[in-house]
Amino acid sequence: MAVYELPKVWQWEEENSNKVGNRPTAGSRFEQKLPAGEAPFQLYSLGTPNGIKITIMFEELKELGVEGADYDLYTINITKGDQFGSDFVEINPNSKIPALVDQSLSPRLEIFESGSILLYLAEKFDQLIPTDIHGRTETLNWLFWQIGAGPYVGGGFGHFFAYAPEPMQYPIDRFTMETKRQLDLLDKTLAERPYVAGDTYTIADIAIWSWYGRLALGKLYEGSYEFLNLDEYSHLLEWSKRIAERPGVKRGLAAEYQPLGE
């Protein structure tokens, strides 16, 4: 492997080849008209760990009998660069999925970042978040933990384990250690309580299961179950399997995406 020589000033070298991927600049790249249906909520997303958080949330709300939680679901194909279109960037200037529009309000309300969307829906419908200060705070503790910790799993471990051009020991060792530390934290927590934040199922479980539950079940990265020795996290595995059997979770995973059209 060639030794990387650190330049004094970093230069981006993929300007002509990286048409649909990330760039060192933000903003829209082309004009776009996103479709919108008649449901109160318009969700523009994809079935990634962050994306499934929101379809699961909507389906859990329906399972609870909540009225007004209908949504239209549209595919944002991040491999084709849909997230850089003008309409999507208007909803989420960060060009990441998921992005949600609440068109039951006037003017409509645009919400981005999966944690923000989960919290918005929980508060709007007064569901899946405790009302007492202790329970609410513990739920938010773990919701924000996932938001902060998740990139070490996805952009760190997952990238270098599954997607990097070639295996590299230093980043794999670094992010595997941190991923296993997080898994051990969850395992120890779930040894003491049935759900992440306590005795009840909350948005913290939805956020964490979408990443760590799926990872524990071997659904994120091929070969990672054995590589991470996930059998040693018995409490996390039991919780992951239990959450996977919830009707709302099953429907959230099976949600049908509509294409954006031409």
Torsion (CA) 144, 145, 151, 154 in degrees, nearest 10? -110
Q: What is the pLDDT of residues 202-255, one digit of tens each?
A: 999 999 999 999 999 999 999 999 999 999 999 999 999 999 999 999 999 999
Residues 209 and 70: their CA atoms lie apart, in Å, by 23
- What was the pLDDT predicted at 15? 63
The first and second tokens of residue 25, run together, are: 């600049």
In the predicted model, what is the mean pLDDT of residues 55-61? 99
- The yes-or-no answer to whether 41-128+250-254 and 133-245 have a common fold is no
Q: What is the pLDDT of residues 63-122, one digit of tens each?
A: 999 999 999 999 999 999 999 999 999 999 999 999 999 999 999 999 999 999 999 999
pLDDT at 3 over 90: no
Beta-ladder partners of 259: none
pLDDT at 152 over 80: yes
* Annotated domain spans of the chain: 41-128+250-254, 133-245
Instruction: Look up the pTM and report it.
Output: 0.96
- CATH entry 1.20.1050.10 includes domain 133-245: yes
Arithmetic mean of pLDDT over the chain: 96
Tell me the percentage of the chain whose pLDDT exceeds 70: 97
CATH architecture assigned to 41-128+250-254: 3-Layer(aba) Sandwich (3.40)
In the predicted model, what is the mean pLDDT of residues 150-160? 98
- What was the pLDDT predicted at 1? 63
Residue 17: pLDDT band (50, 70, 90) is low
Beta-ladder partners of 75: 45
> Which helix H or strand E contains 71, and what residues bound it?
strand 71-75
Q: What is the pLDDT of residues 163-211, one digit of tens each?
A: 999 999 999 999 999 999 999 999 999 999 999 999 999 999 999 999 9
Torsion (CA) 225, 226, 229, 233 in degrees, nearest 10? 30
- What was the pLDDT predicted at 19? 64
Using only C-alpha atoms, the chain has a radius of gyration, in whole angstroms, of 19
- What was the pLDDT predicted at 39? 99
